[in-house]
A and B are shown apart, each in its own frame.
Chain A
Amino acid sequence: MSARFWILDVVFFALLVAIAIPFGRFLTRVFAGENRASQRALGWLERGIYRVAGVDPAKEHSWTAYAGLMLLFSLVTQLVTHVLLRYQHKLPFNPTKLDAVPPWLAYNTATSFTTNTNWQSYGGETTMSYLSQAVALTSHNFFSAGVGVCVAVALIRGLARAESPTIGNFWVDLVRVHLYVLLPLCLGYAVFLVSQGVIQTWQGPATWTALDGTQQWILRGPVASQEAIKMLGTNGGGYFNANSAHPFENPTPLSNFVQMLSIWAIPAALCVTLGDMMKSRGHGRAVFGAMAFLGVVGILVLGYFESKGTPLLANAGADLGTLGHPGGNMEGKELRFGIADSALFATVTTGASCGAVNAMHDSFTPLGGLVPMFNMQLGEVVFGGVGAGMYGILVYVILAVFLAGLMVGRTPEYLGKKIDSRDVRFAALYALIPAFSILIFTALGLMTEAGRSGIANAGPDGAPVPHGFSEVLYAFSSGTANNGSAFAGLTAYSPQHPIFYSLTLGLAMFVGRFPLIIAALAIAGNMAKKKRVPVGPGSFPVEGGLFVGLLVGTVVLVGALTFFPALAIGPLVEHVMMHR
Chain B
Amino acid sequence: MIKNLRACLAITAILLVLCCAFYPAVVTAAAQAVFPSQANGSLLVQNGVTRGSSLLGQTFGDNAQWPEYFWGRPSAASPDAATSVLYSSGSNYGPLNPALKDEVEARVKALRDTGVTGPIPVDLVTKSASGLDPHLSPAAIQVQIPRVAKARGMQEAELRALIAEHTEAPTLGFMGERRANVLTLNLALDAKRPVAHVAPAPASSTALAAPNAVTP
Contacts and interface: CB of A to CB of B under 8 A. Distances in A.
A139 interface: yes
B20 A256 contact: no
B10 A53 contact: yes
A101 to B, nearest CB: 14
Contact of A191 (B34, B41, B56, B126): B34
Contact of B216 (A123, A199, A248, A257): A123
B179 A335 contact: yes
Contacts of B98: 459-460
Interface string B33-66: 0110011111100000111110110111100001
Interface of A: 4, 7-8, 11, 49, 52-55, 68-69, 72-73, 76-77, 80, 96-98, 120-121, 123, 125-126, 134-135, 138-139, 142-143, 171, 174-175, 178-179, 182-183, 186-187, 190-191, 194-203, 205-212, 214-220, 222, 224-226, 228-229, 240-242, 245-248, 251-254, 256-257, 309-310, 312-313, 315-321, 323-338, 341, 357-360, 362-366, 456-457, 459-460, 465, 467, 470, 486-492, 574, 577-578
Contact of B122 (A174, A194, A328): A328
26 contacts: A53-B10, A72-B4, A125-B80, A135-B21, A139-B19, A142-B19, A191-B30, A195-B38, A200-B28, A206-B40, A206-B53, A222-B28, A226-B24, A241-B216, A242-B129, A253-B170, A254-B175, A310-B95, A313-B122, A319-B120, A330-B126, A334-B128, A335-B137, A336-B176, A489-B94, A489-B214
B211 interface: no
Contacts of B133: 247, 334-336
Contact of A325 (B79, B138, B175, B183): B138
Interface string B62-85: 000010010001000101101111
Contact of B20 (A139, A209, A320, A486): A139
Contacts of A310: 95-96
Given A69-B7, A256-B175, A363-B92, 19 more contacts: A4-B174, A49-B11, A76-B8, A98-B83, A139-B15, A194-B30, A194-B39, A200-B24, A201-B41, A216-B86, A241-B87, A246-B130, A247-B132, A325-B137, A337-B177, A341-B176, A459-B98, A488-B90, A491-B216
Contacts of B108: 316-318
A488 B216 contact: yes
Interface string B81-116: 011111111111111111011001100110000000
Contact of B16 (A139, A337, A578): A139
Interface string B130-166: 1111111111101000000000000000000000000
Question: Which 5 residue pairs of A and B lie closest in terms of their CB atoms, listed nearest first?
Answer: A253-B176, A324-B139, A325-B137, A489-B92, A245-B129
Contacts, number: 414
Contacts of B14: 49, 52-53
Interface residues of B, number: 110
Contacts of B203: none
Given A247-B130, A324-B138, A363 B82 contact: no
A304 B92 CA distance: 21
B94 A7 contact: no
A485 to B, nearest CB: 11
A194 B11 contact: no
Contacts of A242: 77, 88-90, 129-132
Contact of B41 (A171, A218, A334, A470): A218
A357 B88 CA distance: 13
Contacts of A248: 41, 55-56
B208 interface: no
Interface in B2-27: 3-12, 14-16, 18-21, 23-24, 26-27
A115 B138 CA distance: 43
Contacts of A196: 38
Contacts of B88: 123, 125, 240-242, 245-246
Contacts of A182: 19
A336 B38 contact: no
A73 B8 contact: yes
A313 B28 contact: no
B104 A491 contact: no
Given A54-B6, A183-B18, A190 B27 contact: yes
B33 to A, nearest CB: 10
Contacts of B82: 126
A31 B6 CA distance: 23
Contacts of B41: 199, 201, 206, 218, 220, 248
A174 B40 CA distance: 34
A359 to B, nearest CB: 5
Contacts of B31: 190-191, 194, 200-201, 224
A457 B93 contact: yes
Contact of B58 (A76, A210, A360, A456): A210
Contacts of B55: 197, 247-248, 251
A53 B215 contact: no
B23 to A, nearest CB: 6
